[in-house]
Structure 1
Amino acid sequence: MNHPRPFSATRRCLQAALLALPLLAVTTGASAQTYSGPIRMLVGYPPGGPADTTARIVAEKLAVQLGQPVLVDNKPGAGGQIAAQALKAAPADGSVIFMSNTHTVAMVPLTMKAPGFAPATDFRPLGAVANFELALAMHPKTGAANLAELGTWFAAHRNEASIGVPAPASAPEFIAGEVARQLKADIVPVAYRGATPMVTDLLAGQIAAGVSGISDFLQYQKASRLRIVAVSRTTPLLPGVPSFAQAGLPSLDATSDFLGLYAPAGLNEATVARYNTALNQVVALPEVVAKLQANAMAPAAGTPGEQALRLAQVSRALAALVAQSGFVPQ
């Protein structure tokens, strides 16, 4: 004969079941937050460039740290704009991330009327990857050892005074414009389609000076074929070369370039923290440090919040330069 359970026993069973519900919900939620499939790392430039090379270095090691495949997906065009738009449209589940330089996430929104994305609201920083400084280099024919002497040379050689930049509506173009303004030189920056043709003309003396990434000038500086007289921030790669601010251009103090990793804005906190931890571990690896330094980059690290703050600071500095130039977004 089956006897009914005492009321107290039934109540204890019910209480145990109710207590288990929150634990079940937490466990279920945690598993839903964990993405374990392949990760696509978008890059807005073709294979072989600095952003792509760095992405492949990081992707290989990030896959090991996360225990998931990380595949570089090149979507070149429009200064990274196509890749940025693809990130905005991607699911916010951790399956798609974006390796970007400053140009795409800071410069494009300032120079395009409708870029198709707003980094502050559409993207979630995952962390910093690498820093690479911008530099002003001069042809030896100027005989200038610093910015002041370059200004003197420009004044005496108006027909030869020119500053090349690797792309229109880029940070180097606005930096070159600010340099010319501060030196009181009537110069319109000469925009090229890439750093290679610009550096070629600079080496040949077709232009007197140029602004681009340090990596574009470094080998020629070492060979005394060009002279770097100022950089966005001082670097061990160029001991003794002052920053723009130290050289008398404080308006260029926050214009250094960097690579960062981003996700769609809706990515949950747990995944952001997991990816950030893995990224910081990757950029600290000796082999990664060596490869970045070989490409004239310095490894970076930090929290997502620090990366968001730095992006905001650089964006403000570049916005001031764009406004000063009178540039009208296209």
Structure 2
Amino acid sequence: MFQRISSHRPWRALRTWLMGLSLGLSLSLVGLTAQAQGSGPIRLLVGYTPGGPADTAARIVAEKLSTELGHPVVVDNKPGAGGQIAAQALKAAPADGSVLFLSNTHTVVTVPLTVKNPGFATAKDFRTVGGVATFELALAVNPKTHAHTLKELGAWFAAHQSESSIGVPAPASSPEFVAAKVSRTFKADTVAASYRGAPPMVQDLLAGQLAAGVSSISDFQQYHQAGTLRILAVTRTTPLLPGVPSFAEAGLAGLDNTTDLLGIYAPAAMPDALVARYNTALNRVLANPEVVAKFKSYVMTPAPMTPAEQQQRLVQASAVLSTLMNESGFVPH
């Protein structure tokens, strides 16, 4: 019930009521968080082994998020099946905010499109909490190709049919579908050589056993700067690679929304107030200059956003990947 305001002191009574309402809302949020966290730390699931982009971003964010929330946030690696194991763990977790999931687009968008029974449905089982960071995909070549453009790479492949493989860090992934589009667009009769992660693929590329590869910029940047590999195009231009065109600028349109988004997800039933509190804390973390600098050193860009904006990014990525899959003839397995 609203408090009756005296006609003699209306503004003082109104101010008192508003202050009480504000305090009540604040205490409610604190109570929700305390209930969510319980006596243990908040677990931030990651579907990959330590050292990759998702794990690195999770550890950078977890440290500062612990301070913002006043409660420990610990990274819990559950690698396997392209993040499916961690995603299934989130689906089974309580919806009280004690378990969150930091995931790339591959797990929450690509896996549901390419795997018939992944054990979760992103839209049904999860809710978005906020964006964390983006990192671009890139196509790099071994200097032996003498290619400086995608068109020149297509011509090189045409003249070297015995070396017509483009390396990708995982099967049925965005890099594989990007590689297939490169092949179709520039009439290069290539096949995707799938690896178990980027490091072995990059090593074969450096050794000249592969002519080209598609992966995140961070996997190629140091070698590009050293001149041992050459990045020909990226999903979106970045000041970190001046002079390197986007795929669209290089003659390959339609890949803008294959930019990988790292975001945080929660079980679908998590309360709105708790999602809002976590989103606010996360966006404060991403505005921290120390966090911005760390992300930059790993060739990632902070991506603060609302849950609704994050959801829209997933819809856009799903539409682009569905098109690339259909064009490549990929059949879910």
Q: TM-score, normalised by structure 2?
A: 0.88
Q: Which residue of 1 aligns with 2:152?
A: 149
Which residue of 2 is the match for residue 319 of structure 1? 322
Are positions 1:62 and 2:65 aligned together?
yes
> Residue 265 and residue 224 in structure 1: after superposition, are their counterparts in 2 closer, same or farther (change >3 A)?
same
- The percentage of counterpart residues that share the same residue type is 68
RMSD over equivalenced CA pairs, Å: 1.6
In 1, are the aligned partners of 2:37 and 2:96 still within 8 Å (CA)? no
Could you say which residue in structure 2 is the equivalent of 1:265?
A: 268
Corresponding position of 1:164: 167
- Find the counterpart in structure 1 of residue 180 from structure 2: 177
Q: Deviations over 1:102-154 (max 9, x none)?
A: 11111110110001111112111111101111100011111111111111111
Q: Secondary structure at the match of 1:251?
A: coil
Distance 2:29 2:173 in 1: 43
* Residue 275 of structure 2 corresponds to residue 276 of structure 1: no
Structure 1, unaligned stretches of length 5 or more?
Answer: 1-22
- Following superposition, the deviation at residue 48 of structure 1 comes to 2.1
Which residue in the other structure is 1:112 paired with?
Answer: 115
Aligned to 1:17: none
Give 1:33's aligned amino acid.
L
Structure 1 letter corresponding to 2:94 = P
What's the offset of the Cα at 1:96?
0.8
Between 128-137 and 158-167, the greater mean CA deviation after superposition = 158-167
**Equivalent position SS for 2:254:** helix
Give the drift of 1:282: 0.4
1:232 aligns with 2:231: no
Q: Any conservation in 1 of the 2:90–2:267 contact (CA below 8 Å)?
A: yes
Question: Number of aligned pairs?
Answer: 306
How is 1:1-330 mapped onto 2 (pairs within 5 angstroms)? 33-34=32-33, 35-37=36-38, 38-330=41-333
Q: Higher Cα Rg: structure 1 or 2?
A: 1
Secondary structure at the residue paired with 1:249?
Answer: coil
Instruction: Provide the rounded CA distance (Å) in 2 between the counterparts of 1:176 and 1:143.
Output: 19
Distance apart, 1:31 and its partner CA: 6.9
Q: CA deviation at 1:36?
A: 4.2
Deviation at 1:256, TM superposition (A): 0.7
Letter in structure 2 aligned against 1:166: P
